[in-house]
């Protein structure tokens, strides 16, 4: 993978206000500060805690897709060597219902993490706790379960599934889309399917739970310490403050680790019942059924247009699968409704209940499948009217948010199309399908756009300037690999005026100042804002001391003339004192300066704060006020399709992206590439295959659930075209983490069409669909 050009592009745009950012300042290319700890094995992950008296739990899950548990015979398990506890729905302690992530109060008084009524294969129905892991595994195999089985609906294609339930909140309409479609000279209508997918993070789900009296400590990989702490507190009826979540390192989450799950409740309950700490790590197959992946979707996109390719109407209908006993809505019109200018629009969505674990968030939920529909459909329109697929996107460019009817805060999508096309060499493309080849390989070039909204929420941080002149940052936000440690070190370093090497960032402990979820690509904007504010007020205190304390060498100088840089405080024009921060603190007799900062409205009550950190109900809408805020991108992708075998290889990717100002281009590029790689997986490889007899996920392991490997990934070039967007965040950045996965699959599908003349509207594009 090459990265040339990027630094240049970013320097030109993002850093222009800030001069030449050194690597340690905001906008610099500092390498991950947590990297050495991870490479040397110093980084301690959740399951690596060594606790006295640790017992080991193993889950037992249902082998049918629907029915009731008639009986669980635990006698053999209970007398097996080392067994401490066998939990069934009858023997597990009572757990209270907890509010959902929006903060809605519980619908049930109690919560049963072990099911009596089975609604999907793999549902937890029992657990065994033993002295060792091996003993627990052996005993779990002795648990005998009998069922009364009932018919199941295995997936969306099941004839019994029906049309599903309309989700009125998803309806979006303006103009008269049906009439405009009927009157349009050019009409296209096509159905697009996206598959069920899984997050497949390297680190599995699991936790260690320990009770000390009424105090609960949980070591668990978490995208949201404060949200999960709230759930545990409500489940066990203890004050929020009694629950401590520890999660300094996380081996990937991709949306799956924001919530405490059924197995989490079982581990914490068994620790309480036993009076011993309990460790529970799910097996890889259990990871496929303990948290839902990306829901399978079906969309119909209907476009009415003029012969000039101008869109007059979009009619969009969508469906996503959800669980029998849980609701997940994958908002399928999120991109459809904003990407292109259209005077008439109608979108409606249903959900269909199938026997699965409730689907959940996977990188860009909503936007990702939404873009597959509209970005393929506009390619089909381009061919219908004989206009270049890039040109047709420019002809339909939305100058404002067509849905909210508000100005974009910033939208560098035109710039993205231009920069990407230039670098890719799009002008050399011959439009006819099957017109480009290299021996037996058919070559196809495809383009698609992507977008992700800017979500704004809340976080707080402490910044301390310590006696040795170093700076410490603390926050209960997390880093699952995206770079939080590093960008917060850069923010504090630049703001206080010390080298980034002198900053220590501590994250992943709910005892630290609080933070909302690391989801929806919001954390970087939120936490750089909070650290910037905390660091600014720490710096103000430092300068204040330097000016006002009679023992300071700067006593009686003008406050606003002191310069703090590189860990030193100097008077203007270099003719005054020049002392290190450590020397100044020593001279005024202070061992530290400490300040907190947050992104909360001023005078927020304690209750508001609690709500802001432990629910997502209070996030600020991306269309709040006068602007509509989003990140944008354009992907240009080359595929090579073997004419004889139908195998598709992605051979080249150039993507140009607008995430506003980048806090760290090296990390943002890495995030974007990660998203693109995941998009390649979605387009060509990933698919949860359901056994139609038992509703089981057949390929529930990393050998059979295919994710891209190095050999699948070509040269990927990413170009930043963002400009600072101060409507989106304190420092001008927009979201990075999810953006780049949006639009990759349609760009590949469009490239496959260009290569072969065959439209595959059903992901993943496997070779049998091409033959």
Q: What angle do CA 555, 561, 564 make, to 5 degrees?
A: 85
According to CB under 6 A, which residues from 338 to 367 bind ligand MOS?
361-363, 365
Binding mask 169-208 for ligand MOS (x = CB under 6 A): ----------------------------------------
For position 520 contacting ligand MCN by CB under 6 A, the verdict is: yes
Interface region with ligand MCN, contact rule CB under 6 A, candidates 98-106, 248-256, 392-400, 757-765? 248-256
User: Given candidates 366, 444, 519, 743, which one binds ligand MCN under the rule CB under 6 A?
Assistant: 519
- Nearest to 368, CA basis, from 197, 617, 167, 252: 197
Closest distance between ligand MCN and the C-beta of residue 306, in Å? 38
Q: What is the distance between the alpha carbons of residues 381 and 388, in angstroms, rounded to a whole number? A: 10
Is 487 a binding residue for ligand MCN by CB under 6 A? The answer is yes
Among 521, 587, 700, 720, binds ligand MCN (CB under 6 A): 521
Distance in Å, CB of 738 to ligand MOS, minimum: 6
Q: What is the 3-state secondary structure (H, E, C) of 198-259?
A: CCCCCCCCEEEEEEECCEEEEECCCCCHHHHHHHHHHHHCCCHHHEEEECCCCCCCCCCCCC
d(CA 238, CA 163): 43
- Per CB under 6 A, 249 contacts ligand MCN: no
Which of 445, 627, 663, 705: binder of ligand MCN (CB under 6 A)? 663
Scored b (16 or more CB within 10 A) or e, 390-414 reads bebbebbebeebbbbebebbbbbbb
365 makes contact, choosing from ligand MOS, ligand MCN, none, with CB < 5 to 8 Å by partner type, with: ligand MOS
- Please tell me the distance from the alpha carbon of residue 595 to that of residue 485, in angstroms, as a whole number: 19
Residue 243's contacts (CB-CB under 8 Å, 6 or more residues apart) are 215, 216, 217, 218, 229, 230, 232, 233, 510
Q: How far apart are CA 479 and CA 289, in angstroms?
A: 25
Q: CA-to-CA distance for 414 and 420, rounded, in angstroms?
A: 10
Q: Which residue has the CB atom at the shortest distance from ligand MOS?
A: 255
Q: What angle (nearest 5°) sits at the alpha carbon of residue 617, between those of residues 616 and 623?
A: 95
**Beta-sheet strands, E only, within 491-566:** 503-506, 563-565
The helix (H) or strand (E) run that includes residue 353 is strand 344-354
Please say which residue, 223 or 628, places its beta carbon nearer to ligand MOS. Answer: 223
Distance of alpha carbon 357 from alpha carbon 263, whole angstroms? 13
Site for ligand MCN in 308-367 (CB under 6 A): 363
Among 24, 221, 446, 483, binds ligand MCN (CB under 6 A): 483
Give the nearer residue to ligand MCN in terms of CB position, either 155 or 415.
415
Question: Is 686 one of the annotated active-site residues of the chain?
Answer: no
Please say which residue, 363 or 393, places its beta carbon nearer to ligand MOS. 363
Minimum distance of ligand MOS from residue 258's CB (angstroms): 6
CA distance 198 to 282: 15
Q: Which of 248, 223, 238 is nearest to 511 (CA)?
A: 248
Residue span binding ligand MCN (CB under 6 A) among the ranges 49-57, 77-85, 253-261, 410-418 = 253-261
Give the range of 127-135, 519-527, 645-653, 705-713 binding ligand MCN by CB under 6 A: 519-527
Closest distance between ligand MCN and the C-beta of residue 258, in Å?
9
Length of the chain measured in residues: 771
Identify the residue among 567, 737, 743, 746 touching ligand MCN (CB under 6 A): 737
Identify residues 207-236 at the interface with ligand MOS (CB under 6 A). 223
Q: Which of residues 525-544 bind ligand MCN (CB under 6 A)?
A: 525
Contact window for ligand MCN (CB under 6 A) among 126-134, 297-305, 517-525, 553-561: 517-525
Distance, CA of 27 to CA of 741 (rounded, Å):
23
DSSP 500: G
Q: Quote the CA–CA distance of 378 and 373 in Å, as a whole number.
A: 9
At 235 the three-state DSSP class reads helix
Q: How far apart are CA 584 and CA 577, in angstroms?
A: 11
Residues 6+ apart with CB under 8 A from 649: 639, 640, 641, 642, 712, 714
Residue 514's SS3 state is: coil
DSSP 326: B
Q: Name the residue nearer to ligand MOS (CB basis): 522 or 696.
A: 522
Site string for ligand MOS, 393-432 (x = CB under 6 A): ----------------------------------------
197 binds, among ligand MCN, ligand MOS, none (CB under 5 to 8 A by kind): none
Asked if 369 interacts with ligand MOS (CB under 6 A), we say no
> Which residues inside 474-533 make contact with ligand MOS, applying CB under 6 A?
519-520
* Cα distance between residue 731 and residue 597, in whole Å: 14
* Smallest separation (angstroms) from ligand MOS to the CB of 1: 23
Interacting residues with ligand MOS between 703 and 732 (CB under 6 A): none
Binder among 368, 510, 599, 664 for ligand MCN (CB under 6 A): 664
| Shortest distance (Å) from residue 666 CB to ligand MCN | 8
Count of positions on this chain that bind ligand MOS (CB under 6 A):
11
Stretch that binds ligand MCN, among 390-398, 479-487, 605-613, 688-696 (CB under 6 A): 479-487
Site of tokens 């929806």: 520
Spot the catalytic one: 144, 474, 738, 768.
738
Q: Is the dihedral of CA 687, 298, 62, 81 positive or negative?
A: positive
Q: Could you tell me which residues are beta bridge partners of residue 96?
A: 110
Contact (Cβ atoms closer than 8 angstroms) between residue 312 and residue 177: no
Q: Closest Cα to residue 32, out of 483, 674, 523?
A: 483
Q: Which is nearer to ligand MOS, 199 or 312 (CB)?
A: 199
Q: Could you say whether residue 122 binds ligand MCN (CB under 6 A)?
A: no
**Which residue numbers are catalytic?**
738
Point out which residues bind ligand MCN (CB under 6 A). Answer: 252-255, 363, 480-484, 487, 518-525, 659-664, 667-668, 671, 674, 733-738
Instruction: Provide the binding-site residues for ligand MOS, judged by CB under 6 A.
Output: 223, 254-255, 258, 361-363, 365, 519-520, 738
């Amino acid at each position: 993978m090459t990265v040339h050009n990027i630094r240049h592009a970013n320097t030109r745009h993002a850093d222009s206000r800030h001069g030449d950012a050194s690597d340690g300042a905001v906008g610099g290319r500092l390498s991950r500060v947590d990297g050495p700890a991870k490479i040397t094995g110093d980084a301690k992950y959740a399951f690596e805690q060594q606790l006295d008296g640790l017992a080991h739990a193993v889950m037992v899950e249902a082998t049918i897709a629907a029915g009731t548990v008639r009986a669980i015979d635990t006698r053999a398990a209970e007398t097996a060597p080392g067994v401490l506890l066998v939990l069934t729905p009858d023997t597990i302690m009572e757990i209270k219902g907890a509010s959902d992530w929006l903060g809605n109060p519980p619908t049930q008084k109690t919560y049963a993490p072990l099911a009596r009524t089975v609604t999907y294969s793999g549902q937890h129905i029992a657990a065994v706790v033993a002295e060792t892991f091996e003993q627990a595994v052996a005993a779990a195999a002795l648990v005998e379960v009998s069922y009364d089985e009932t018919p199941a609906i295995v997936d969306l294609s099941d004839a019994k599934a029906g049309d599903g339930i309309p989700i009125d909140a998803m309806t979006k309409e303006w103009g008269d889309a049906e009439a405009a479609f009927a009157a349009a000279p050019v009409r296209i209508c096509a159905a697009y399917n996206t598959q069920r997918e899984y997050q497949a993070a390297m680190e599995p789900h699991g936790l260690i739970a320990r009770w000390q009296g009424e105090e609960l400590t949980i070591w668990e990989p978490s995208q949201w310490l404060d949200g999960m702490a709230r759930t545990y507190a409500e489940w066990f009826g203890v004050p929020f403050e009694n629950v401590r979540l520890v999660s300094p390192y996380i081996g990937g989450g991709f949306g799956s680790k924001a919530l405490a799950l059924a197995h989490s409740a079982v581990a914490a309950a068994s620790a309480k019942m036993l009076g011993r700490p309990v460790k529970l790590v799910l097996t890889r197959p259990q990871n496929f059924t303990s948290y839902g992946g990306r829901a399978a979707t079906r969309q119909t996109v209907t476009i009415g247009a003029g012969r000039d390719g101008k869109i007059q109407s979009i009619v969009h209908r969508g469906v996503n699968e959800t669980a029998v006993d849980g609701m997940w809505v994958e908002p399928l019109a999120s991109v459809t409704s904003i990407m292109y200018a259209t005077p008439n629009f109608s979108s409606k969505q249903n959900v269909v209940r199938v026997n699965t674990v409730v689907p959940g968030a996977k990188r860009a939920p909503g936007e990702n499948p939404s873009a597959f529909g509209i970005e393929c459909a506009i390619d089909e329109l381009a061919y219908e009217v004989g206009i270049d697929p890039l040109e047709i996107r420019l002809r339909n460019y939305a100058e404002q948010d067509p849905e909210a009817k508000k100005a974009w805060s910033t939208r560098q999508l035109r710039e993205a199309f231009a920069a990407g096309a230039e670098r890719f060499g799009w002008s050399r493309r011959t439009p006819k399908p099957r017109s480009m080849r290299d021996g037996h390989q058919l070559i196809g070039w495809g383009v698609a756009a992507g977008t992700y909204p800017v979500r704004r929420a809340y976080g707080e941080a402490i910044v301390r300037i310590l006696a040795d002149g170093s700076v410490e940052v603390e926050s209960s936000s997390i880093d699952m690999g995206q770079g939080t440690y590093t960008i917060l070190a850069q923010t504090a370093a630049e703001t206080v005026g010390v080298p980034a090497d002198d900053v220590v960032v501590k994250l992943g402990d709910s005892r630290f100042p609080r933070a909302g979820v690391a989801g929806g690509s919001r954390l970087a904007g939120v936490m750089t804002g909070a650290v910037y504010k905390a660091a600014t007020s720490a710096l103000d205190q430092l300068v204040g001391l330097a000016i006002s304390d009679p023992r300071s060498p700067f006593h009686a100088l003008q406050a606003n003339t002191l310069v703090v840089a590189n860990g030193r405080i100097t008077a203007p024009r270099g003719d005054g004192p020049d002392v290190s921060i450590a020397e100044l603190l020593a001279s005024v007799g202070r061992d530290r300066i400490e300040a907190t900062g947050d992104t909360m409205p001023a005078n927020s009550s304690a209750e508001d704060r609690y709500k802001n950190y432990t629910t997502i109900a209070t996030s600020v809408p991306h269309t709040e006020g006068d602007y509509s805020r989003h990140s944008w991108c354009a992907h240009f992708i080359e595929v090579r399709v073997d004419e004889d075998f139908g195998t598709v290889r992605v051979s080249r990717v150039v993507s140009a992206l607008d995430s506003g100002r980048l806090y760290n281009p090296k990390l943002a590029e890495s995030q974007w590439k990660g998203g693109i790689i995941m998009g390649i997986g979605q387009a060509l490889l990933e698919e949860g295959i359901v056994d139609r007899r038992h509703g089981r996920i057949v390929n529930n392991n990393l050998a059979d659930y295919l994710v891209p490997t190095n050999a699948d990934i070509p040269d990927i070039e990413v170009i930043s075209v963002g400009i600072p967007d101060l409507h989106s965040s304190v420092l001008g950045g927009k979201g990075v983490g999810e953006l780049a996965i949006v639009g990759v699959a349609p760009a590949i599908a469009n490239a496959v069409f260009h290569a072969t003349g065959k439209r595959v509207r059903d992901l993943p594009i496997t070779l049998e669909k091409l033959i």
